[in-house]
Structure 1
C-alpha cells in the first residue's frame, strides 16, 4: 500500500500477495475440492477475488499509470485499450478451450456430464445466440465472469485518471458514487440474452476495490499508519466475522443465520457489499503490517526465501497463471472423478496443480525475456575479446605515461 511506484520492497509485497491469490483461486475452482474448506473465503466475507482485483489495481497504477504520466492521456488511453483487447481475447480463448475440454471429458467419463457441471449447455442448445452473446459479452456464464469484469474496469481507468487531473478528490468521489449507484441496482450488465440474469461480478461495483489499490499505489490515498490500535481493530474485525462467514456458525446458530440475512446486502458478492469491503481492508492492512516495513519479513534466504521468490514469480505472471489455473481446475476435477476423492488424492491434485502453475510462471517469464534476442555464447565471447582488445591500448598508454 506504499505510494511510491518505484520502491522495490513494495513490488515484493504486491507480487507475493498476488501470487498467493492465484494459488487460492485455483484451489477454489477445482470441483468438489476439500481444500476449499481452508481458503480465506471460508473464514471471512472477502475472498481471493478481492485479492486479485485489489492487486490488479495496484499493478495497473505501475504499468499503465506510467504511460499516462510520461506520454500523456491519449497514449495512456491507447496503452489501456491494448490491454483491454488482450484480456478480451484471453476471455474468449478461456471459454473456448475450457468448453472443448469439457466435451472431451464427457467422452472420457460418461458418468459425469461436464458441460452441465459448468452449465454451458445453452451454448449448444442455441449456439447462434450464445456465440453472438459470447463475443459481445452479453453471454457470460458464471465460471467465466472474472475477466469480463476486469476488462470493463480497465476500460474505466482512463476516465478515472482524467477526473484525477481535475482533482484526486473528484476521482475518488466519482469512484464512490459509481459504487453507490451499482449497489443500489441502477447499474448492471446482462449475462444471458434469453434471461434477465446479470453479470455475477458487477464491474461498476467491483471497481471500488480495484481503484482503492490503484489510489494507494498512485499516491491519491496515504497508507494508514502502523499502530497497535489500528492493528487491534483490524484483527478484531477479522475474528468477529469468522462465525458469521464460516458455515459451522450460520448453519448451527439460528441467530447468526438471521443476522446474516439482516445484513445480506452488505455481504452480497455481485454488487460488492460494504461488509466485504470492510473485511478486505482489515485483511489487507494486517497482511501489509505482517509483511513488515518495506516487506522486510518477506526477504531472506533458505526455504522461506525460495518460497517467497516462487510465489512472487507466480504473481508477476498473473494473467497467464489465472488462465492456466481456470483450465487446470477443470482438468483436476475430472481427474478426481476418475481416481476418487480422499485426503491423498486431494493432496495429489492440489500440489500437482501448484507445480504446474509454478512451471507456467517460469516458462512465461522465460518467453517474455525473449532469449532469442540475446547474443549467443560465441557473440558474447567475441564481444568480451573485442572489449579487452580495445582496452589494451588504453592500458599501454597508461604504462607509458607512468614511465614518463
Structure 2
C-alpha cells in the first residue's frame, strides 16, 4: 500500500508519509533526539533554527533553505521528495523564507492516518507507526481489510471482514477518483447529499442500524459512539458520487428538467439513487419530508443546488459544478455530527469515540489543490 523508497539514508520515507513521522522514526535508528537529528541534517554552511518539538505538532515543515539541505542529505531531488513527503511542497505561512534553514513542528494541514502495519513491515516501530496522508481514497487497506484510523502512537483500524459493503464501496471509490478529474469533489458533494438525508431521520433506518451494530461490535464501543463516523454512510456516499459524475445520467437530468422542470429531474435522480443503494422507498420518503419542510430548507439542499447547476451547464468544465455551500456541507467535527445524529451529549459521544480512535482520519472534505513546489 505504501512503498519504501531506496535512498542513501538509513530510514527511507514511505510514499505520502508525514515528514514529521519520518523524522520520528529516524530518531530511533540514529539514536538522537528529533531536534538534534534535524540540526544535523539541516546544518549546511548557514544557520539552523528548529521551532517546536514532535509533542507540539505531528508534522514538520521546512523553508526553502532547509529543503535544499534535505535534498543534499537524502540524495533525492526536491520533486521526488515532495512526492514522498507532501508537506515539503511549499513553505508553511508561519515560516520565514530567508537565508536561515528553518524547520517547525505544526499540526498537519490535512487528515492523516496510521498506515497498515503489515503493509509497512519493519518501518512500523513500537510507539512510532508510519503516519501517512490518505488523500482522496487511501484510507482503506484492501489487502488486510482495514479502515485506517488516526493514532500517533499505536496503529488503529476498523476490521472490515464483517463489512463487505465498505470494501466494495472503496474499490469503486478508487476507480472513481482515478477515472474522473473531479471524482474527489463529487464524493464531497455526495457526502453532503447523504448527510441531508441522515439529519432528516434516516439515521434510524434498518440498513444503517445493522451497520452501526457491526462496527460497534468490532470496535468494542457503544453504537452511539460509532454513528457520526464517516464509515457509516460510506457505501451510500460512493454510490451517489458515481451517479453524480455519470455523463449519461447528467444528460438525462438535463432533458427531464427541460421537459418537466427541476422537480422531475430530482425525482428521476432519487429513483435511480434509491435503486443503487437498495432503498426503493427513497423518492417517496424524501417527497413526503419535503412537503413538511419550509422552502428555505429545500433551497439549501445540496442535491437541489447541484441539479440547478447541472441543468444549466453543458458538462463538467470547472470545480464550480461541485461546490457545496457551508450550510449544506457535512459537519467536519465529530461532536457536531453527534449533536445531530444521537440523543446523547455530544461531548460524551466524542470522548468515547476518541478513546476508540474514531475521531480522526479520512473525511469526505475537499482536497487542497496542489501548489507549485518551491525551488531549493
Q: From the two aligned structures, give the one with the greater strand fraction.
A: 2
**TM-score, normalised via structure 1 length:** 0.23
Q: Is the helix fraction higher in 1 or 2?
A: 1
TM-score after normalising by structure 2: 0.25
